[in-house]
Structure 1
Amino acid sequence: MGPLTWCGVLFVLFYQRFISPLLPPACRYQPSCSQYMLVALRRYGLFRGGWLGIKRIGRCHPFHDGGYDPVP
């Protein structure tokens, strides 16, 4: 894992540890959007994994059904 990818992973871990507990549960997917982002970053790196995570977050809204959506 490259240094930029590692920074992305640390950012998501920081969010999960310190920010997410302060917010109400809202993710419509399983795994959660932040967990999806972690897996995508670790599997594909910063650019492709980050893009997959951003697309997933964009789909996470009240007008989408959600459900099980694993990282490809």
Structure 2
Amino acid sequence: MNKRIFLVFLCCFFIISVKAQLLSNDSLLSSSFNEYNYKKHKPRALMSFKERSFWYKINPVSYVSIGLMFGYQRFLSQQLGSECAYEITCSEHAKKAVERYGIFKGLMYGFYQLQSCTSKTGYDFPNHSINQSGEIINPIEINED
């Protein structure tokens, strides 16, 4: 019986004496997270068929590939949360290369950039190829020398 009374007294003592953390005592609680700005996603343009042949426009493979690329960019890429080392993201680069060179050659250029997209890629480029935000400038024009 004495043990129970002692336990009840001890519990009441802890309940009364325990207080929440004071804001002034905890530096993490006092820091403001409102100052952090998240990087906004750039709006992505849809692929156009303006300068393509009639056969390219009615080819179902081109529509499937464009649909898969759009679905990846719109839904899956944002969920992965990875940062691309390039100014033009790998999927956007592949999409523009497909527009310019066709589906097979464009996808090869897209896969080439994707396999070279790592966090250490910036060390391989001279300073003039890096923009102000630290991303590698990657034009779609590819030297075919």
TM-score range (shorter-chain normalised) is 0.7 to 0.9
Q: Identity of aligned pairs, percent?
A: 26
Question: How far apart, CA to CA, are the structure 2 residues paired with 1:26 and 1:60?
Answer: 10
Alignment RMSD: 1.4
Offset, 1:63: 2.1
Say how many residue pairs are matched.
Answer: 72
Select the structure of larger CA radius of gyration. Answer: 2
Offset, 1:10: 1.4
Q: Which has the higher contact order (CA 8 A, sep 6+)?
A: 1
1:49 maps to 2:106: yes
Match of 2:138 in 1: 69
TM-score normalised to the size of structure 1?
A: 0.87
* AA of the residue aligned to 1:70: P
TM-score normalised to the size of structure 2?
A: 0.46
Offset, 1:52: 0.3
1:37 maps to 2:106: no
Match of 2:64 in 1: 7
Superposed CA deviations along residues 47-70 of structure 1, whole A, max 9, x for unmatched, are 110100000101101221160101
More helix by share: 1
* AA of the residue aligned to 2:70: L
Question: How far apart, CA to CA, are the structure 1 residues paired with 2:137 and 2:92?
Answer: 13
Which structure 1 residue ranges, 5 or more long, are not aligned? none
